[in-house]
Structure 1
Amino acid sequence: MKIHVLAEEVASKIAAGEVVERPVSVVKELIENSIDAEATRIIVEIIDGGTKSIRVSDNGTGIPVDELEIALERHATSKITKETELEHLHTMGFRGEALPSIGAVSRLVITSTASGYPQGGFVETVYGKKGKRGAAASREGTSVLVEDLFSNVPARKKFLKSTSAETARINAMVNKLALAHPEVGFTLVSNGTEKFNSNGSGDLKEIMSSTYDSQTVDSLIPVEGERSKGSRLSGYVSSPSITRANRSAINIFVNKRWVESRILSQAVDDSYKGLLMKHRHPIAVLHLEIPPSEVDVNVHPAKREVRFRNEGFVFSLIIRTIRELLISYSPVPLITPDLSLGFASQAQPRVGDNATINRNQPSGDYYFNAEYRHTDEIKPTNDSGIKSEFGLFPKQILPTLRVIGQASQTYVIAEGPSGIFLIDQHAAHERTNYEAILKKFEAEKPDTQLLLEPLVLDLSPEQIETLDQFHATLLGHGFQIEPFGERSYLARGFPSGVSRIDPETLLIEILRMLKQTNSYSQAFESLAASIACHSSIKAGDTITHDEMTSLIRKLEQSKSPNTCPHGRPTMIELTTVQLEHRFGRR
């Protein structure tokens, strides 16, 4: 086949496929146009999940009659005029692709009356071809009607989901855009039934109440970060007691633009490191304000992704702001006052659970060290690209505790200034070992226990690949392993203190774990946590009073004494006030 230029009709359909993936794409693009037109009220009406009809109406500044036809031309826009303006974008749209792309795959009618004009007009396009146009009496603002979406592209239409699924996508998108612009009122009507409504009061938490139950909303922690290098983080995050099984509840908006960013979502997850159980994620609605020159929004056809000039700064800003906030809330879980149900049956509140926080409680002042408060200076990561929690997280401080004894060969009982503490000996030892391992790694002084006789390991190709990829990380944690033939390796040393598991079994388990990690940073922390777990006291071990005291003293010096590296609590507290209440002294 000879090289030739595609017909305009074919090229338009291809271009439309990049911008308009499904009905929700149309809704998003039209709403963003309304926002750029300074609308304060936007109404979205859909029929059959948007496949039959989509109408987006607003009370914005409108489009002058003589510009309606131009608006349907590709790359026609009022947002920018020259290339340099791309570095200082303050609008949602800027390419001039949305309307012509939508018009290429639907019947499109735009009706608009511009501010200051006595009369409005309308223009129609049918699958990319000009249709009717003329005068129209309408209120100030714009209404865009999209009908029979993808009817001229059967291949695209057959890949759409069910009506209910497409409706759910649109509902979720309208909700996200309402969270991005709480000052704008949104209404979504599907097949004549109102699905979503916000009043445009500017109250972000009020909009979140339409998505989450009242208990979740009441437990949200406000994020009010200080401005740093022209950037600011604000919004709400959940306490560690409320989690989700995936990251779908993490919503991040960059300069009021909803974005999908693994980096930002990972930063939010890392803020909770050690506070959540494995495979659990927080709820977050965060607004990141950043100078437009520091972020590139022109990297994705649908503008869902962005690229930062300084990713490290943004990553650290999110982690430090949220982590300080979480630690400033009550970090030690409290035993609920109704002890008549028995300890085993009661759900233990976690860090930041507003339902159990007593801010007048004396113990609250012990857990936050102002020395670690967030400053404008974000230190760069080390050369290996690995940043442990010591450099990013502020320090928690545990009060001095007096050891009383051991219960069930599992829990250390201790007395503090505000009550009685029950400490899980394995979780506590795991935490202290974990932090000791991190410090030795950073100091490049790993503890290695040399084997009397080197161990020959026969590894699979996948295990060899993982071993080669993470060799430096393993070496830094005390493993001494070297090639010994084509598929064999010679293990000369393993981390000290790991005596409860066979060395070969430990290495195979760690290689399997490392293969599943997403980054060197995650591998580094997962490896340290695994070694700490295998070298710690177990539940059921009897330990002496001196050993208990030594463990508690080390925990008091720990940077994050309240949870083990996997997110389980190391302790719960029964306050003096609770004791006096139960014994009728109050």
Structure 2
Amino acid sequence: MSGMIQVLADTVAAQIAAGEVVERPASVVKELVENALDAGAGVVTVLVEEGGKKLIRVSDDGAGIAQDELALAFARHATSKLRTVADLDRIHTLGFRGEALASIAAVSRTTIVSRARGDSAGATAQVEGGEVRYVRQAGAPVGTVVAVENLFFNTPARLKFLKSESTERRHIMQLVSNYAMAYPNVRFRLIMEGREQFHSTGSGDVADVLVEVFGLEAFKEMLEVSPQPPSRPDLPPIEVYGFTSTPNLNRSNRSQIILFVNGRTISDQSLTYAVVQAYHTLIPSGRYPMAVLMIALEPDEVDVNVHPTKAEVRFRAPEAVFSAVQRAVRRAVVDQAPVPPMGGDPYGSVEDGWRPAPSADQPPRAMVPGEEQLRMELNALDPGRYAHQRPDYMTPSPQPQTAPTEIPEGIGRPARPRTLPILRVIGQVGAMYIVAEGPAGLYLIDQHAAHERILYEQFMAEQAAMEPVAQRTLDAATVELPPAAAHLVEEAQNVLAGLGFEIELFGANTFRVRAIPALLADREPGDVLRMIVQDLESGNEPGGVTLEEKLVRRVCKTAAVKAGQTLSYDEMQGLIRQLERCESPRTCPHGRPTMLHISGDELAKQFGRT
């Protein structure tokens, strides 16, 4: 070991400490918003430029800071919120360590203007890289304004690891909307890149905030959660209230299960699981509800001093909190959830391949728009298109025509090579699987996965040829989205246009949909756009597929034949004929197998013929 042991300089120590508190621009917003709420603010305004790297400004109308304490506010471990170690057991504020302003100022140029209630004048101070530049008197209204500029200017390694501006803006949007839900009596306003992205009324009603965050249509599917009495008299009093979704409204991930403990947004896998468990048998496996839940308990029953960012907490009685959350949500869902309509989509997951099988005594019904794609009597190079894109679908040619992929008679080769042996349809099992015979044995084909593969390769071929097939809507559909979702759609407009969407901004958080991909021509444009938003919200995972490919997969998954749909012999044979010419016929675009093969030898073995 070389070198001498020495005490680090204060600026170096401050920058190291800042690394634990200030992970990204959203961390700065979090700390400043919490300070504003602790100061009793009724109005909080957040302004962001370049995803927070250039500027973050948070202003409030709270109690303010006295002029003679302004410089002290930037000292490490300077706080007005606790005095002794014992105070840690009864914390009623969001902040308490006195590290936020010091950590932020250590990695930025921070300017603060504040006037305490009762003072005749305010004061301003500036700290850059942890060093105080000035403190002087200034005119200001009651409250505080903190401006953080050039974040991480003196820690280039941290700056290099920040995500894209759109990702950082999304984190800030999520954080501000979370605090707006936790503090509905406070009026929040978020301005990003010069445009208002979110505002809440401060009415005190959390329902008003939920409408702003999730949109009116989603809120209509939310159920109010009320506190339940403890299951045992020896358990501490725990109140769980808020809103949770009906089983009809569910998502593909847990990201919209939002939890607060005593007004503090937290991340807790156990409590998230408690919410999911409350829907046991009510929603399909792999789907998750939406929920915004407030958990209130005595401060000495929860330890908030276990994580640098205070994002995790530890409960004195974790089993009691788990039970309280699960019971409150389950009671709300069981008591209030509406009965799913007959023939509807009770779980909202038809695009995932689920649909109730028709009963045997159900009377025949009229064909719905778009169902004619199942006839499969299509050119193998052009599978799955809808009827109004093929105006002659009702008048088939009296003479059979040879598809371009058929092996021609005489000299010549097929337009696309065969990737599977010739298969002959035998029948259908459970309205889900096609049974086919080939020279190498028996094949069971998942009709949904197979059609998804066919549509995907067609779509990608059109993309490669720069010929996305779009279907213009008869009347432009107007769709209003929650602020966060609208921001994502606006950023992805170029990608969406390349897939056949024609979407234009039509007011704040409102879009006009003029065209959608032709494969989805029988779908409601607003529903299609909301479906796409789910993929935009999930973002790009490291090492995962691109956003464009993810959206293509979503379009094909939605348009493909569903499990539970009975197909005619010609429809099944047409699907298999197209699958035989796919480049990768054995898996769907998501990697699931499209078929199972049982060889002739295996069949003979199972029947004892070997």
* Unpaired segments ≥5 residues, structure 1: 336-342, 351-405, 411-425, 427-538, 540-586
DSSP 3-state at the match of 2:57? strand
Structure 2 residue identity aligned to 1:24: A
Alignment correspondent of 1:133: 135
Are the counterparts in 2 of residues 249 and 282 from structure 1 also a CA contact under 8 Å? yes
Structure 2 residue identity aligned to 1:144: V
- Give the distance between the partners of 2:31 and 2:274, measured in 1 at CA: 28
Q: Deviations over 1:259-313 (max 9, x none)?
A: 0111111110111111111111000000000110000000000000000000100
Alignment correspondent of 1:313: 320
- Give the distance between the partners of 2:338 and 2:163, measured in 1 at CA: 45
Q: Deviations over 1:138-192 (max 9, x none)?
A: 0000000110000100000011112222111111110011111111110011121
Alpha-carbon distance, 1:201 to partner: 0.7
Alignment correspondent of 2:32: 30
Alignment correspondent of 1:90: 92
Alignment correspondent of 1:289: 296
Q: Deviations over 1:388-426 (max 9, x none)?
A: xxxxxxxxxxxxxxxxxx95499xxxxxxxxxxxxxxx9
- Are positions 1:333 and 2:340 aligned together? yes
Are the counterparts in 2 of residues 334 and 349 from structure 1 also a CA contact under 8 Å? no
Structure 2 residue identity aligned to 1:281: Y
Alignment correspondent of 1:303: 310
Alignment correspondent of 2:179: 177
- Give the distance between the partners of 1:299 and 1:253, measured in 2 at CA: 16
- Give matches, 1:516-555, under 5 Å: none
- Give the distance between the partners of 1:258 and 1:15, measured in 2 at CA: 22
Determine which of 251, 276, 282 is the counterpart of 1:275: 282
Determine which of 13, 20, 28 is the counterpart of 1:18: 20
Alignment correspondent of 1:247: 254
Determine which of 243, 250, 260 is the counterpart of 1:236: 243
Structure 2 residue identity aligned to 1:231: I
Structure 2 residue identity aligned to 1:116: G
Are the counterparts in 1 of residues 124 and 137 from structure 2 also a CA contact under 8 Å? yes
Alignment correspondent of 1:397: none
Query: Which moved further from structure 2: 320-329 or 168-177?
Result: 320-329
Percent identity between matched residues is: 44
Alignment correspondent of 2:266: 259
Q: Deviations over 1:298-346 (max 9, x none)?
A: 00000000000001000011111111221113575341xxxxxxx4xx4
- Give matches, 1:11-160, under 5 Å: 11-160=13-162
* Unpaired segments ≥5 residues, structure 2: 231-235, 349-357, 363-429, 431-563, 565-610
- Give matches, 1:157-236, under 5 Å: 157-226=159-228, 228=230, 229-236=236-243
DSSP 3-state at the match of 2:240? strand
- Give the distance between the partners of 2:114 and 2:308, measured in 1 at CA: 27
Q: When the two structures are superposed, what TM-score results if normalisation uses the length of structure 1?
A: 0.58
- Shift of the 159–349 alpha-carbon distance from structure 1 to 2, 3 Å rule, reads closer
Alignment correspondent of 1:482: none
- Give the distance between the partners of 1:36 and 1:133, measured in 2 at CA: 23
DSSP 3-state at the match of 2:319? helix
- Shift of the 407–107 alpha-carbon distance from structure 1 to 2, 3 Å rule, reads closer
Alpha-carbon distance, 1:211 to partner: 2.2
- Are positions 1:347 and 2:345 aligned together? yes
Structure 2 residue identity aligned to 1:201: S
Which stretches of structure 1, 4 residues or more, deviate above 6 A after TM superposition?
Answer: none
Are the counterparts in 2 of residues 249 and 284 from structure 1 also a CA contact under 8 Å? yes
DSSP 3-state at the match of 2:17? helix
Are the counterparts in 2 of residues 237 and 282 from structure 1 also a CA contact under 8 Å? yes
Q: How many residues align?
A: 350
Alignment correspondent of 1:581: none
- Give the distance between the partners of 1:74 and 1:178, measured in 2 at CA: 28
DSSP 3-state at the match of 2:250? coil
Q: Deviations over 1:403-458 (max 9, x none)?
A: xxx95499xxxxxxxxxxxxxxx9xxxxxxxxxxxxxxxxxxxxxxxxxxxxxxxx
Structure 2 residue identity aligned to 1:12: A
- Give the distance between the partners of 1:349 and 1:5, measured in 2 at CA: 61
- Give the distance between the partners of 1:248 and 1:130, measured in 2 at CA: 40
Structure 1 residue identity aligned to 2:276: D
Structure 2 residue identity aligned to 1:277: P
Structure 1 residue identity aligned to 2:208: E
- Shift of the 314–294 alpha-carbon distance from structure 1 to 2, 3 Å rule, reads same
DSSP 3-state at the match of 2:36? helix
Are the counterparts in 1 of residues 261 and 294 from structure 2 also a CA contact under 8 Å? yes
DSSP 3-state at the match of 1:230? coil
- Shift of the 73–273 alpha-carbon distance from structure 1 to 2, 3 Å rule, reads same
- Give the distance between the partners of 1:213 and 1:187, measured in 2 at CA: 17
- Give the distance between the partners of 1:332 and 1:203, measured in 2 at CA: 27
- Give the distance between the partners of 2:274 and 2:361, measured in 1 at CA: 38
Structure 1 residue identity aligned to 2:209: I
Q: When the two structures are superposed, what TM-score results if normalisation uses the length of structure 2?
A: 0.55
- Give the distance between the partners of 2:276 and 2:347, measured in 1 at CA: 20
DSSP 3-state at the match of 1:248? coil
Are the counterparts in 1 of residues 25 and 168 from structure 2 also a CA contact under 8 Å? yes
Structure 2 residue identity aligned to 1:173: L
DSSP 3-state at the match of 1:209? helix
- Give the distance between the partners of 1:189 and 1:227, measured in 2 at CA: 42
- Give the distance between the partners of 1:17 and 1:330, measured in 2 at CA: 45
- Shift of the 9–349 alpha-carbon distance from structure 1 to 2, 3 Å rule, reads closer
Alpha-carbon distance, 1:110 to partner: 1.1
After superposition, the CA RMSD in angstroms is 2.2
Alignment correspondent of 2:400: none
- Give the distance between the partners of 1:256 and 1:184, measured in 2 at CA: 12
Are the counterparts in 2 of residues 227 and 233 from structure 1 also a CA contact under 8 Å? no
Structure 2 residue identity aligned to 1:347: D
